[in-house]
Structure 1
């Protein structure tokens, strides 16, 4: 059985990554200031609104999980646009990407894709949150499809651990990638809207998720009372919502996960063991590096279903097929 899953994963990986090759410094000759321009726009945006760092990181994730990393989530083509999918609720940062695109169109018309801007913006957002700096392979082309139904299989906060693992596997991502990319919740906030089921209707007859630490349950209910304002926001990483670090993993382990999907990582022997590998007393010396492994996972995610070469095109506006 283990061999079967290994072969299946390898097949999925080959299928999802067969679209083309990206490379670091793709714009070094055609638009040398591409990456520094995106960095400048992102820095200005995050200084103005620190929460935008998390927003831009999640925009990259949501883009890649539907039709691959091709900027499809940016398109505004009416009520059936992908960006209006239920699974994309709360996703934002579109204006930051459009601002960076406008500057790049002035400097290098028709050269830098919106899909690459999204990936670069996520990289810069992480660095601005005290996270690791890393290089982003570029060369993506923008997709030509945007449909709300294509986002039906987005990972959801109420998914079981098996559903999460299946959705990640479908995109060529392993259990380790699931843990690390879930840890991107180390920065940012969520709304009480996403907490209602977990706090008050976890079982058919009502009740709370037993995976929540009892003392934390009191805190969560105070912030998100039943029939209260569902738009109230709370940090996803209790005590460390502005700093990119592995505190989120300790919170998940201790029952202080805010999101149900994060808590479910405790329900599986494999994902639980992966969390433990980063938290042991000797982990800082002998264990794997959370930062290095996260970079590996997000770069890997950034290759999902990419369009390169003659596939797709480079949009002049990120919100339109132009």
Structure 2
């Protein structure tokens, strides 16, 4: 009996040790008691912003991607530059993110309702989900409990996947964040509500190579239309550029249909059609929007779990460390 009792106690202890780490993991109900109004406050703030700025959809979604890709989802993208440090938000790849005021506004409201409780990182993650859903895309339960980082460096934005990447480079970049080839193609579908400045794709339109002025993988008529939007003499204005698919403010599978028609704006978008590892996924999503929505929600949760901080601070002001 004594042996059996010790064995049972050992088993209980073992289960406790195994289960303990999961208690600190992200949780969909993290703020149910400490700030039950959190998601409602963020949703209403996002809705209001969308009414005044149609580019908020794309900017908030890109904000989430870029934040999670650098240091994990820790809101480092929100920190302002200082005299001694240039922050991520001022790195070249983040020129088209902007709309930081939406997170500022949501955080200001949250600090009044439940001070020092909801992290900026969680606000970004919830806002990204909300812009997708409000644009007609899928809904998913955002796992919460992240803490905010205290460091942000512009030079680290070089680690973001670039618009000129080939498929192998894309796969490698996403794999470093624990994401599969399918996750990569799926998350690229976020471009369905994206906007790009001319600088990200103009190399495909002029003097592309020794033999081609225009990237031969691009639909010729489509390339001509982009040339008009991005003339060599004047393409540096903040509105100089194009949306990344034809249904500009609707989250749908049109992005994949555009790729099949050779109308991917970025070289990295169009490259997905030319590689056997990714072509079948593009074709699947182009014909099955439900499959795309289902996988997008799953991949967003996976990205949102990468490298998160579960200990640390909850910033009062998104732009500065406490």
TM-score (norm 2): 0.88
User: Which residue of the partner structure matches residue 257 of structure 1?
Assistant: 264
Native 8 Å contact 1:60 1:122 kept in 2: yes
User: Which residue of the partner structure matches residue 134 of structure 1?
Assistant: 140
Q: 2:94 matched to 1:88?
A: yes
Q: What is the 5 A alignment of 1:1-322?
A: 21-78=25-82, 79-203=85-209, 207-231=213-237, 232-237=240-245, 239-280=246-287, 283=288, 289-308=291-310, 311-322=311-322
Once the two structures are superposed, residues 24-46 of structure 1 have per-residue CA deviations (whole angstroms, 9 ceiling, x without a partner) of 02100000101100001001001
User: Which residue of the partner structure matches residue 6 of structure 1?
Assistant: none
Native 8 Å contact 2:81 2:90 kept in 1: no
Native 8 Å contact 2:74 2:308 kept in 1: yes
For residue 158 of structure 1, report the CA deviation from its aligned partner: 1.1
Native 8 Å contact 1:188 1:236 kept in 2: yes
- Give the secondary-structure state (helix, strand or coil) at the position aligned to 1:25: coil
- Give the secondary-structure state (helix, strand or coil) at the position aligned to 1:95: helix
- Give the secondary-structure state (helix, strand or coil) at the position aligned to 1:168: helix
With 228-237 and 139-148 compared, the bigger mean Cα shift is at 228-237
For residue 80 of structure 1, report the CA deviation from its aligned partner: 1.6
Native 8 Å contact 2:89 2:154 kept in 1: yes
Where structure 1 has 5 or more consecutive residues not aligned to the other structure, the ranges are: 1-17
For 1:56 and 1:108, the matched residues in 2 are separated by 23
Native 8 Å contact 2:254 2:286 kept in 1: no
- Give the secondary-structure state (helix, strand or coil) at the position aligned to 1:279: helix
For residue 204 of structure 1, report the CA deviation from its aligned partner: 5.7
For 1:165 and 1:202, the matched residues in 2 are separated by 24
For residue 87 of structure 1, report the CA deviation from its aligned partner: 2.3
For 1:162 and 1:201, the matched residues in 2 are separated by 24
For residue 107 of structure 1, report the CA deviation from its aligned partner: 0.9
**Count of residues in Structure 1 that have an aligned counterpart in Structure 2:** 297
- Give the secondary-structure state (helix, strand or coil) at the position aligned to 1:190: strand
For residue 267 of structure 1, report the CA deviation from its aligned partner: 2.5
For 1:194 and 1:150, the matched residues in 2 are separated by 18
Native 8 Å contact 1:172 1:304 kept in 2: yes
Native 8 Å contact 1:60 1:119 kept in 2: yes
For residue 205 of structure 1, report the CA deviation from its aligned partner: 7.4
Native 8 Å contact 2:149 2:309 kept in 1: yes
For residue 277 of structure 1, report the CA deviation from its aligned partner: 1.7
For residue 75 of structure 1, report the CA deviation from its aligned partner: 0.4
For 1:202 and 1:67, the matched residues in 2 are separated by 34
For 1:289 and 1:162, the matched residues in 2 are separated by 24
For 2:158 and 2:198, the matched residues in 1 are separated by 22
Change (3 A) 1:305 1:201: farther
Once the two structures are superposed, residues 31-67 of structure 1 have per-residue CA deviations (whole angstroms, 9 ceiling, x without a partner) of 0101100001001001111210111111000100000
For 2:119 and 2:210, the matched residues in 1 are separated by 46
Structure ID, larger Rg: 2
Where structure 2 has 5 or more consecutive residues not aligned to the other structure, the ranges are: 1-21
